[in-house]
Chain A
Amino acid sequence: MKKDSDAHIANATHGHTEDHSGGHVHRDDIGSKMGIWLFLFTELLLFGGMFILYASYRYIYPEDFKAAALQLDPVLGAVNTIVLLTSSLTVVLAIVALQKKNIKLCMTNLWITQFCGVIFLINKYFEWSHKIHLGVYPKGPALEELSQGQNVFFGLYYVMTGLHGLHVIVGMAFIGFIMYFIKKNYITYNNYQKLENSGLYWHLVDVIWIFLFPLFYLIH
């Protein structure tokens, strides 16, 4: 365990690396990683607040939440879960590939991640547009007929999955920049902290979906 951590620090991290022009470049990879983690904690509290709101309303309207959840398609939700899990795997494989200096495999994995992100958003688009077509949206004709609790459920559904979808888009843009940097050789096998940071952000988006999926699609 100790050796493990040391080796991890030794490679990834901290240090003065000489660049080719002979200048001295300072790099602090531990600090960089800590920065992204602190940001992830703020994200946790952002979504956490909404999860608490969900829990409170579910406590108040248990029957309405069950009835409303039955109108969501668990198959679509499950497919999107698998898609996001796969995209998380390819990000982490991209890091290993880069460490092994296999830039081509690294880029292929990151392209698969981007592709999975697009599939996720397309699924979400069909799901939302189907619901909106049925009149189930805030102030929509079908939703006005439903009970207070079901209105709250769909309100939370749109806000939480919408904010999550926004995070998927941001994550794809983040990874897009990283891919450009890898192509330009700014990110290399011994200087990959930025790639890992984008991965950490992407995994957090995955973790949020891991909780959204059972809470919205699997209440029976």
Chain B
Amino acid sequence: MSEFNPSKTEIHIENEAHAEELHLEHDEHDTGYGTYILVWLALVGLTAITVTLSGISLGSLTIITALLIATIKTVLVANYFMHVKFDTTIFKVFIFVCIIIFLTMIVLTFFDLTFRNPLI
């Protein structure tokens, strides 16, 4: 994990040659077309699975599996398509905090729904 370090990020591109060098260095680490196509295939596959599973009656597990697959798809999209995997720690912290706030809202709402009597 790398910390955000301003001294390293401050790049002075003095001339084209230097820019060229940076670009080449970047290419070595960057994800190519292939990885993204594989991720897309996985996403299409997961869509096929979720559609197939919806045809089978799993009782109360239906909604859980559907949401689980949707979450896996989201993790793939965020990490690869949105490059979160390659981002600095601060972005991961932001996203984590935002998701925790959202989950807290859901849990508190359901406390209300579960213990409210009568419901409507």
Contact = CB atoms under 8 A, between A and B. Distances in A.
Contact of B91 (A37, A196, A207): A37
Interface in A180-220: 189-190, 196, 199-200, 203-204, 206-207, 210-211, 213-215, 218-220
Contact of B9 (A9, A34, A89, A215): A9
B77 A190 contact: no
B11 interface: yes
B47 A9 contact: no
Interface in B67-86: 67, 69-70, 73-74, 77-78, 80-83, 86
Contacts of B110: 55-56, 59
A75 to B, nearest CB: 9
Q: Which 5 A-B pairs have the closest CB atoms?
A: A218-B54, A11-B26, A15-B11, A214-B66, A14-B9
Contacts of B77: 88, 203, 206-207, 210
Interface residues of B, number: 66
Contacts of B14: 18
Contacts of B115: none
B11 A210 contact: no
A60 B120 CA distance: 8
Question: What is the predominant secondary structure among interface residues of chain B facing chain A?
Answer: helix
Interface string B49-77: 01100110100001100110110011001
Contact of B26 (A10, A15, A59, A206): A10
Nearest to A61: B120
A5 to B, nearest CB: 4
A85 B47 CA distance: 10
Interface of A: 1-11, 13-18, 30, 33-34, 37-38, 41, 44-45, 48, 52, 55-56, 59-60, 74, 78, 81-82, 85-86, 88-89, 91-93, 96, 99-100, 189-190, 196, 199-200, 203-204, 206-207, 210-211, 213-215, 218-220
A15 B10 contact: yes
A55 B1 CA distance: 36
B2 A6 contact: yes
A78 B86 CA distance: 30
Given A10-B11, A96-B30, 20 more contacts: A5-B87, A6-B8, A8-B29, A8-B30, A8-B87, A13-B9, A14-B6, A15-B13, A30-B9, A48-B105, A56-B109, A85-B44, A92-B81, A99-B26, A99-B30, A190-B23, A196-B83, A199-B81, A206-B77, A207-B78
